[in-house]
Amino acid sequence: MAFSMRQPQRAAMAEINVTPLVDVMLVLLIIFMVTAPMMQEGINVELPQAKAAPMEKEQEKTPLIITVADKGDVFLNDVAVQEDALAEKILEATKDSPSKEVYLKADKSVPYGVVVRIMAALRNAGITNLGMITSPKQELSPTK
């Protein structure tokens, strides 16, 4: 009986190495997770704290958000607006849907008088329901 000294031929490798694909997908996932919160924020303000139950959101309505920055600058949905022209802009924005939700987001260092003037301008524009945006109050945990 004669034995052959030849090596058996290997079959072609038909598998795809997915390790590089998984590496790229993980990097993309991390990038999206880091950048997603940054995309939602507009003007950076330090909100006052309040303790209240969160409100339910209606998906089809996009609210108007009036932001008052720490230096007193006023923004309507991230667009700078002069304080004296705010009522006109609100009337213009709510002419199609007068029951549009309006929220006020003011930095906690803004003087109370500025917030009152903004609220008066909203009232003059016919806004009767106004929501105030605050950050959740941090509860101190009891020490042992």
Instruction: Write the pLDDT tens digit of every residue in 84-113.
Output: 888 888 888 888 776 778 899 988 888 888
DSSP label of 84: G
Looking at residue 40, what is its pLDDT? 61
Give the mean pLDDT of 38-63.
Answer: 69
**What three-state secondary structure class fits 9?**
coil
30 vs 3 pLDDT, higher one: 30
Rg (CA), the chain: 29
Instruction: Write the pLDDT tens digit of every residue in 109-144.
Output: 888 888 899 888 888 888 888 888 888 877 665 655
Cα separation, 111 vs 11, in Å, equals 78
Q: In the chain, where are the structural domains located?
A: 49-54+61-136
Residue whose token pair is 């949905």: 77
Asked whether the whole model's pTM tops 0.75, one would answer no
59 vs 122 pLDDT, higher one: 122
**Domain 49-54+61-136 architecture:** 2-Layer Sandwich (3.30)
Looking at residue 59, what is its pLDDT? 45
**What three-state secondary structure class fits 44?**
coil
